[in-house]
Amino acid sequence: MGGERAEAELVPVAGYPLHHLNVAGIDRRNPLRGARAVGLAAGALGASVRLLRRLGVDAVMGGGGYVAGPVGLAAAALRIPLVLTEADSHLGISNRLLAPLARRVFLAFPLEGRSEPRFVVAGRPLPAGTGQANRADARRHFGIGAEEACLLVFGGSIGARTLNQAALEAFGSDSPCGVLHACGRRDYEELARRLSELGDPPHYHLLAYIEPFADALAAADLTAARAGGSVLEVAAAGLPAILVPYPYAAADHQTRNAKLMAEAGAAVVVPDSELDAPRLAREVGTLLESPSSLAAMSDAARHVSRADAAVRIADELLRLAGGR
């Protein structure tokens, strides 16, 4: 069950029916929009109750977005077991609201004051094949040399403008490595034009979006990225990271994500306000010149990834559903 965000495309492509709910995020800066969102949520609650009954649902899993609020409340009203997942180091509004009603809340990171048995640190469920793609095949696909060092730059499906600009300025003309840059759809045309003006350098591979992303992770030796829930996908691939947290994320959770990865030894953190082309070039150069540092970060990343998260959560869902 979902709205109009990524699930509207990803769920049908994966072969599952998507039951649409008319919902919107609560805009706390605009009272009218906030009131409209509350009204939509009330309508979605009734629709969710009817749909869960019609489908004969035995368990519900919430992913933390605003769609999860009315669906989770409907599950609780119908006494259907509810399980929640949280991909970040901060519980979002929906998960904070629903946590007292859930049988389990699976966390990607340890959170202070959130303990077992209700809260379980399981890691983040990862796409199938994460950390298992063939490096040689992936490099051939992207046109990266077998012995060439490779930096992966990405910032999510929309992109990360600060990171996009810094990467192109730092490595567009000259670079100590190949660059595989997934810049997002918003900035792609501008960055492609600037690369064209630089003569389309063969070491710089610019794409709007990469699917499957496991191939990009397998091809790279190092990544520069935002610090959303994808940090654990990067970790599962054993990829050392330079993390640039988005400073306006809810409750500044990306900074917390990045800090946890750095404390584990898997990442270097650069605040968004300090990121520019020289700083990014310096951080990348320092790491590429130290293979021992990259190897230690890679080992630390794999240790923190908790690659069995999806299996643990699925087992709990099946156990709860079987109880009905």
pLDDT score, position 28: 63
pLDDT score, position 157: 56
pLDDT score, position 130: 76
Domain at 135-305, CATH homologous superfamily: Glycogen Phosphorylase B; (3.40.50.2000)
CA nearest neighbour of 322 among 56, 58, 57, 53:
58
pLDDT score, position 128: 73
Can you list the positions of beta strands (E) in the chain?
Answer: 60-62, 82-86, 104-107, 119-121, 150-154, 178-182, 204-207, 222-225, 241-243, 267-269
Would you give the distance in Å from CA 80 to the centre of its chain?
28
CA 304, 305, 307, 308: dihedral to nearest 10 degrees?
60
Q: Which two tokens stand for residue 55?
A: 């489908």
Instruction: Break the chain down into helix, strand, coil percent, rounded to 5.
Output: 45, 15, 40
CA nearest neighbour of 67 among 55, 54, 84, 87:
84
CA 32 to each of CA 21, 22, 35: distance values in angstroms, whole numbers, following the listed order: 20, 17, 5
The string of DSSP codes covering 234-265 is HHHTT--EEE---TTSGGGHHHHHHHHHHHTT
Question: What is the rounded CA–CA span in Å between residue 216 and residue 298?
Answer: 16
What is the identity of the amino acid at 258? Answer: A
* Matching fold, domains 7-124+308-322 and 135-305: yes
Whether 184 and 155 have beta carbons less than 8 Å apart is answered as yes
pLDDT score, position 309: 92
Token pair 């156990």 is found at 319
Q: How many CA atoms lie within 13 A of 116 on its CB side?
A: 4
CA 106 to each of CA 47, 234, 243, 250, 288: distance values in angstroms, whole numbers, following the listed order: 26, 19, 24, 19, 35
Whether 173 and 198 have beta carbons less than 8 Å apart is answered as yes
Whether 172 and 193 have beta carbons less than 8 Å apart is answered as no
> Within the chain, which residues score under 70 in pLDDT?
25-28, 34-38, 156-159
Question: What is the rounded CA–CA span in Å between residue 116 and residue 40?
Answer: 34
pLDDT score, position 158: 57
Domain at 7-124+308-322, CATH homologous superfamily: Glycogen Phosphorylase B; (3.40.50.2000)
Q: Which two tokens stand for residue 112?
A: 């202070």
pLDDT score, position 109: 87
Peptide bond into 212 cis (omega under 30): yes
The string of DSSP codes covering 284-310 is HHHHHT-HHHHHHHHHHHHHHH-TTHH
Domain ranges of the chain: 7-124+308-322, 135-305
Q: Which residues contact 187 (CB under 8 A, 6 or more apart)?
A: 159, 161, 164
Would you give the distance in Å from CA 48 to the centre of its chain?
26
